A and B are shown apart, each in its own frame.
Chain A
Amino acid sequence: EPEVTQTPSHQVTQMGQEVILRCVPISNHLYFYWYRQILGQKVEFLVSFYNNEISEKSEIFDDQFSVERPDGSNFTLKIRSTKLEDSAMYFCASTGRGPLGYGYTFGSGTRLTVV
């Protein structure tokens, strides 16, 4: 079964450092997303990406965040200057176009710890 792959699985970084979280979406999918989940809380939408541009972003996704699809397979989330409150699980997701059952698929996540 097709998977969304995320690397690394765990990233520890010092406050103020830049981090890049990487994702390989499912190959024939068209829409790409980043979500985050602070420990014990619900999954929150960060940003959606379609046709090589951001289609929507949340209030969380401020100027410190950026996304990129540098080639035909990777989708990255960059945090320029990490803060303690950025510590969370970050999930990449992708979906194809269409109605029910089109497989809105999440990766296993990257646990980001900012110290």
Chain B
Amino acid sequence: GESVGLHLPTLSVQEGDNSIINCAYSNSASDYFIWYKQESGKGPQFIIDIRSNMDKRQGQRVTVLLNKTVKHLSLQIAATQPGDSAVYFCAENPSWGGSNYKLTFGKGTLLTVNP
């Protein structure tokens, strides 16, 4: 079936380095993507989102890149800090703007930032 998945289950980086977390999706109808951060014992926290008519979007220290040709999504975190340590999920919705905004989540990548 169609799904969203992640290439790397774990990523360890040094404080101050840039981090790149990847996500592959298989639903070519996916129209909307969100990256979430989840800290231990907490709910998913919205980081950044992107529509399929864009290929890049920037936030504060974060950038999301979308490559529709290969159905790949990435999250770049600049100058990674210890507080960025968490599990990161990508999520997709096939048709934002309808009556249902159900999200399908990937498996998650654990980011560990070493001081």
- Whether A104 pairs with B102 at a CB distance below 8 angstroms is no
Binary interface encoding of chain B residues 77-115 relative to chain A, with 1 for a CB under 8 A from any of its CBs, else 0: 000000000000101000011011111111110000000
- Whether A95 pairs with B89 at a CB distance below 8 angstroms is no
- Whether B43 pairs with A33 at a CB distance below 8 angstroms is no
What are 28 A-B pairs with beta-carbon distances under 8 A? Answer: A31-B100, A31-B101, A41-B107, A42-B105, A42-B106, A42-B107, A42-B108, A43-B105, A45-B104, A48-B100, A48-B101, A50-B99, A50-B100, A55-B100, A56-B100, A56-B102, A91-B44, A95-B101, A99-B97, A100-B32, A100-B49, A101-B49, A104-B101, A106-B36, A106-B46, A107-B43, A108-B41, A108-B43
> Roughly how many angstroms separate A104 CA and B91 CA in the complex, as a whole number?
11
- Whether A91 pairs with B43 at a CB distance below 8 angstroms is yes
Give the total number of A-B pairs whose CB atoms are below 8 A apart: 61
> Roughly how many angstroms separate A78 CA and B108 CA in the complex, as a whole number?
28
A104 contacts across to B, CB distance below 8 A? 34, 46, 49, 101, 103
Asked if A18 lies at the interface with its beta carbon under 8 angstroms from chain B, I say no
A residues whose Cβ falls under 8 Å from a Cβ of B: 4, 6, 31, 33, 35, 41-45, 48, 50, 55-56, 91, 95, 99-101, 103-109
Q: Chain A nearest CB: distance from B86 CB in Å?
A: 14
Q: Chain A nearest CB: distance from B22 CB in Å?
A: 15
- Whether A45 pairs with B42 at a CB distance below 8 angstroms is no
- Whether B102 pairs with A109 at a CB distance below 8 angstroms is no
With both beta carbons as reference points, the residue of chain B lying nearest to A106 in the complex is identified as B43
Q: Chain A nearest CB: distance from B39 CB in Å?
A: 10
B105 contacts across to A, CB distance below 8 A? 42-44
Given contacts A100-B49, A103-B46, contact A42 B89 (CB under 8 A): yes
